[in-house]
Chains A and B, each alone.
Chain A
Amino acid sequence: MNELPQQLVNGLLLGSMYGLVAIGYTMVYGIVQLINFAHGEIFMTGAFGALTVYLYVLPDGTSMLIALPLMLIGAMVVSVTVAVGAERFAYRPLRGAPRLAPLITAIGLSLALQQAVWAWYPGAKSKISFPQIDGGPFHIGSVTIQTGDIFLLIAAPVSMAILAFFVMRTRTGRGMQATAQDPDTAKLMGVNTDRIIVVAFALGALFAAVGAVANGLKYGDIDFRMGFILGLKAFTAAVLGGIGNIYGAMIGGVVLGVAETLATAFIADVPGLEKLGSQSWADVWAFILLILVLLFRPQGLLGERVADRA
Chain B
Amino acid sequence: MRQRSLIAITAALAAGALTLTACGSRDDDGGSDSGNGDGGGTTVVIGVDAPLTGDLSALGLGIKNSVDLAAKTANKDNYVDGIKFEIEALDDQGQPSVGQQNATKLTANDDVLGVVGPLNSSVGEAMQIIFDRAKLVEVSPANTNPALTQGVKWQTEKVRPYKSYFRTATTDAIQGPFAAQYVFNDSKKKKVFVIDDKKTYGAGLAATFTEEFKKLGGQVVGTEHINPDTKDFNAVATKVKTSGADVVYYGGEYPQAGPLSKQIKAAGAKIPVVGGDGIYSADFIKLAGASGTGDLATSVGAPVEELPSAKEFVANYKAGGYKEAYEAYGGYSYDSAWAIIEAVKKVVEDNDGKLPDDARAKVVDAMQNVSFDGVTGKVSFDKFGDATNKQLTVYAVENGAWKSVKSGTYTG
Seen from chain A, the residues whose Cβ lies within 8 Å of a Cβ on chain B are: 1, 3, 6-7, 10-11, 13-14, 89-90, 93-94, 96-97, 101, 104-105, 108-109, 111-112, 115-116, 118-119, 125-127, 129, 137, 144, 146, 219-221, 223, 226, 229, 260-262, 264-265, 278-283
Tell me whether A126 and B58 are in contact (CB under 8 A). yes
Tell me whether B13 and A126 are in contact (CB under 8 A). no
**Interface flags, B239-254, vs A, CB<8A=1, else 0:** 1011000000000000
Q: Which residues of chain B are near A223, meaning CB under 8 Å?
A: 55
**Interface flags, B219-231, vs A, CB<8A=1, else 0:** 0000111110111
Q: For the complex formed, measure the closest distance between the CB of A306 and the CB atoms of chain B, giving whole angstroms.
A: 28
Question: Which of B10, B57, B198 meets A108, CB within 8 Å?
Answer: B10
Tell me whether A108 and B14 are in contact (CB under 8 A). yes
Tell me whether B234 and A10 are in contact (CB under 8 A). yes
CA distance A3 to B2 in the complex (A): 58
Q: Is residue B216 within 8 Å, beta carbon to beta carbon, of the partner chain?
A: no
Given A10-B234, A14-B232, A261-B234, 9 other A-B residues pairs in contact with their CB atoms under 8 A: A3-B238, A10-B238, A101-B10, A108-B10, A111-B21, A116-B20, A127-B286, A129-B286, A220-B262
- Chosen A-B contacts, 6 in total, with CB atoms closer than 8 Å, are A93-B5, A96-B2, A116-B20, A125-B54, A264-B235, A280-B197
Q: Which 5 A-B pairs have the closest CB atoms?
A: A115-B20, A264-B235, A278-B225, A108-B13, A10-B234
Q: Is residue B6 within 8 Å, beta carbon to beta carbon, of the partner chain?
A: yes
Tell me whether A260 and B226 are in contact (CB under 8 A). no
Q: For the complex formed, measure the closest distance between the CB of A85 and the CB atoms of chain B, giving whole angstroms.
A: 12
CA distance A17 to B9 in the complex (A): 32
Q: Is residue B317 within 8 Å, beta carbon to beta carbon, of the partner chain?
A: no
The SS class assigned to the B binding surface is helix
Q: Is residue B385 within 8 Å, beta carbon to beta carbon, of the partner chain?
A: no
Chain A residue at minimum C-beta to C-beta distance from B224? A278
Tell me whether A279 and B259 are in contact (CB under 8 A). no
Q: For the complex formed, measure the closest distance between the CB of A86 and the CB atoms of chain B, giving whole angstroms.
A: 10
CA distance A103 to B321 in the complex (A): 46
The SS class assigned to the A binding surface is helix
Q: Which residues of chain A are near B53, meaning CB under 8 Å?
A: 118, 125
Q: For the complex formed, measure the closest distance between the CB of A207 and the CB atoms of chain B, giving whole angstroms.
A: 19
CA distance A108 to B9 in the complex (A): 10
Seen from chain B, the residues whose Cβ lies within 8 Å of a Cβ on chain A are: 2-3, 5-6, 9-10, 13-14, 16-17, 20-21, 23-24, 53-55, 57-58, 197-198, 223-227, 229-236, 238-239, 241-242, 255, 259, 262, 266-268, 283, 286-287, 289
Tell me whether B234 and A97 are in contact (CB under 8 A). no
Q: Which residues of chain B are near A219, meaning CB under 8 Å?
A: 231-232, 259
CA distance A265 to B21 in the complex (A): 39
Q: Which residues of chain A are near B235, meaning CB under 8 Å?
A: 7, 10-11, 260-262, 264-265, 279, 282
Question: Which of A13, A94, A111, A280 meets B198, CB within 8 Å?
Answer: A280
CA distance A262 to B238 in the complex (A): 11
Q: Which residues of chain B are near A264, meaning CB under 8 Å?
A: 224, 235-236, 239
Q: For the complex formed, measure the closest distance between the CB of A98 and the CB atoms of chain B, giving whole angstroms.
A: 9
Asked, given contacts A127-B55, A280-B198, whether A89 binds B234 with beta carbons under 8 Å apart, the answer is no
Chain B residue at minimum C-beta to C-beta distance from A117? B20
Tell me whether A283 and B227 are in contact (CB under 8 A). yes
Tell me whether B17 and A282 are in contact (CB under 8 A). no
Tell me whether A127 and B287 are in contact (CB under 8 A). yes
Question: Which of A89, A111, A126, A220 meets B9, CB within 8 Å?
Answer: A89
Q: Which residues of chain A are near B20, meaning CB under 8 Å?
A: 112, 115-116, 118-119
Tell me whether B10 and A105 are in contact (CB under 8 A). yes
Q: Which residues of chain B are near A278, meaning CB under 8 Å?
A: 223-226
Tell me whether B255 and A127 are in contact (CB under 8 A). yes
Q: For the complex formed, measure the closest distance between the CB of A226 and the CB atoms of chain B, giving whole angstroms.
A: 8
Tell me whether B239 and A119 are in contact (CB under 8 A). no
Tell me whether A280 and B266 are in contact (CB under 8 A). no
Asked, given contacts A126-B57, A127-B287, whether A93 binds B227 with beta carbons under 8 Å apart, the answer is no
CA distance A127 to B289 in the complex (A): 13
CA distance A260 to B232 in the complex (A): 10
Q: For the complex formed, measure the closest distance between the CB of B273 and the CB atoms of chain A, giving whole angstroms.
A: 15
Q: Which residues of chain B are near A261, meaning CB under 8 Å?
A: 234-235
By CB atoms of chain B within 10 A, which of A3, A105, A111, A112 has the most?
Answer: A112
Tell me whether A280 and B226 are in contact (CB under 8 A). yes
Chain A residue at minimum C-beta to C-beta distance from B283? A126
Q: Which residues of chain B are near A282, meaning CB under 8 Å?
A: 227, 230, 235
Q: Which residues of chain A are near B24, meaning CB under 8 Å?
A: 115, 118-119
Q: For the complex formed, measure the closest distance between the CB of A231 and the CB atoms of chain B, giving whole angstroms.
A: 13
Q: For the complex formed, measure the closest distance between the CB of A104 and the CB atoms of chain B, giving whole angstroms.
A: 6
Q: Which residues of chain A are near B267, meaning CB under 8 Å?
A: 6, 144
By CB atoms of chain A within 10 A, which of B14, B54, B226, B239 has the most?
Answer: B239
Q: Which residues of chain A are near B224, meaning CB under 8 Å?
A: 264, 278-279
CA distance A282 to B226 in the complex (A): 9
Question: Which of A115, A116, A226, A279 meets B226, CB within 8 Å?
Answer: A279
Question: Which of B13, B255, B259, B268 meets A144, CB within 8 Å?
Answer: B268
Chain B residue at minimum C-beta to C-beta distance from A13? B234
Q: For the complex formed, measure the closest distance between the CB of B232 and the CB atoms of chain A, giving whole angstroms.
A: 5
Asked, given contacts A14-B232, A119-B20, whether A125 binds B6 with beta carbons under 8 Å apart, the answer is no
Question: Which of A6, A105, A115, A129 meets B238, CB within 8 Å?
Answer: A6
Q: For the complex formed, measure the closest distance between the CB of A285 and the CB atoms of chain B, giving whole angstroms.
A: 12
Chain A residue at minimum C-beta to C-beta distance from B226? A279
By CB atoms of chain B within 10 A, which of A1, A89, A119, A126 has the most?
Answer: A126
Q: Which residues of chain B are near A96, meaning CB under 8 Å?
A: 2
Q: Which residues of chain B are near A144, meaning CB under 8 Å?
A: 266-268
Q: For the complex formed, measure the closest distance between the CB of A26 and the CB atoms of chain B, giving whole angstroms.
A: 22
